[in-house]
């Protein structure tokens, strides 16, 4: 198994660290900025004997070093600044993504590709269209992150242990994300049965604004510890063929009533990538939320030159 992480910024380097130190695979860390990936890779290797893993990481700016990758994680792109919406990155990062796809496709035919670059759902769609890789092998990391953020907001609102909380957020990775309350539970009970309307409204609002909140604290750059954890969870599902169900941005072919679009939905992930898309029963309000998410994504996709 060979894993390549493209983009050696905070998200990419931290993702590489998590994957390396878990011993999942040898890693290639690539960044077009000369020396950045090499320096971070060498720094991570200095820690190998302290952590106690036997894997290796190679830092490079040359796409030929990615040859034979089983999994490619794309984190390359511009990060948000305070006051900036993810959607504002569309023009800048679409050019980055086109360049990335051209680079890795020269040396890799059909790798599994996990996209992290924002705006997530649109960039995942662009990778799929540009690479012409089977859609089940191209998917985006966001639902894991948003659901984990909602778990924390529920914990803070209700003072319940995180281990008892299982939230589900679908739709887009943005303002039109869709918290699915009918499948969000606390200690096996529906969230709506144990939380009042005010608490639920607060949880949803804070979940949606969580990324922007962290950006405002950092001043420069955006969140990376939690996004890298989402990457790790998804990559591990592929490497270990766990067949676990995780929310991620998937290409839909009629599921939930949508076609030819990437949207956050529950998916069974294994060695082949997206092994199955799980269609959960959802209520009318949740269907409307997914519809709004789909409309937002289509509007942004229309701005791409495909």
Question: So which residues are the catalytic ones?
Answer: 173
DSSP track, 182-241: GG-EETTEEHHHHS-HHHHHHHHHHHHHHHHHHHHHHSSS---HHHHHHHHHHHHHHHTT
Question: Are the CB atoms for 228 and 15 separated by under 8 Å?
Answer: yes
Helix, strand or coil for residue 62? coil
What is the spatial distance between Cα 112 and Cα 246, in angstroms, rounded to a whole number?
16
207-216 long-range contacts, Cβ below 8 Å, gap at least 24?
Answer: 207/146, 207/149, 207/150, 207/153, 207/169, 207/177, 207/179, 208/175, 208/177, 210/149, 210/153, 211/80, 211/86, 211/149, 212/80, 212/82, 215/80, 215/81, 215/82, 215/84, 216/82
Residue 31 DSSP one-character state: -
What is the spatial distance between Cα 120 and Cα 127, in angstroms, rounded to a whole number?
11
Residue 302 DSSP one-character state: T
What is the spatial distance between Cα 163 and Cα 295, in angstroms, rounded to a whole number?
34
What is the spatial distance between Cα 98 and Cα 75, in angstroms, rounded to a whole number?
13
Place of tokens 């791409």: 304
Helix, strand or coil for residue 261? strand
Task: Report residue 117 CA to chain centroid gap.
Answer: 8
């Amino acid at each position: 198994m060979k894993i390549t992480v493209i983009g050696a910024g905070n998200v990419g380097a931290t993702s590489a660290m998590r994957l390396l130190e878990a011993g999942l695979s040898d890693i290639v860390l690539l960044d077009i900025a000369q020396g950045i990936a090499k320096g971070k890779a060498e720094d991570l290797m200095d820690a190998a004997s302290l952590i106690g893993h036997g894997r290796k990481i190679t830092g490079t700016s040359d796409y030929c070093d990615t040859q034979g990758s089983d999994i490619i994680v794309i984190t390359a792109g511009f990060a948000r600044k305070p006051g900036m919406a993810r959607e504002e990155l569309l023009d800048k990062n679409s050019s980055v993504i086109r360049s990335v796809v051209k680079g890795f496709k020269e040396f890799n035919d059909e790798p599994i590709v996990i996209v992290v670059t924002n705006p997530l759902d649109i960039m995942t769609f662009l990778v799929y269209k540009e690479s012409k890789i089977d859609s089940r092998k191209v998917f985006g990391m966001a639902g894991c992150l948003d659901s984990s953020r909602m778990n924390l907001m529920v914990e803070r609102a209700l003072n319940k242990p995180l281990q008892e909380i299982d939230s589900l957020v679908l739709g887009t990775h943005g303002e039109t994300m869709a918290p699915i309350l009918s499948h969000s539970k606390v200690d096996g009970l529906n969230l709506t049965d144990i939380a009042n309307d005010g608490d639920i409204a607060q949880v949803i609002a804070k979940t949606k604004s969580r990324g922007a909140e962290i950006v405002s604290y950092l001043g420069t750059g955006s969140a990376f510890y939690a996004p890298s954890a989402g990457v790790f969870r998804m990559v591990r599902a592929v490497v270990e063929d766990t067949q676990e169900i995780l929310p991620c941005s998937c290409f839909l072919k009629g599921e939930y009533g949508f076609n030819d679009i990437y949207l956050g939905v529950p998916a069974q992930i294994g060695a082949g990538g997206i092994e199955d898309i799980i269609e959960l029963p959802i209520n009318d309000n949740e269907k409307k939320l997914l519809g709004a998410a789909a409309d937002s994504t289509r509007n942004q996709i229309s701005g791409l030159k495909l």
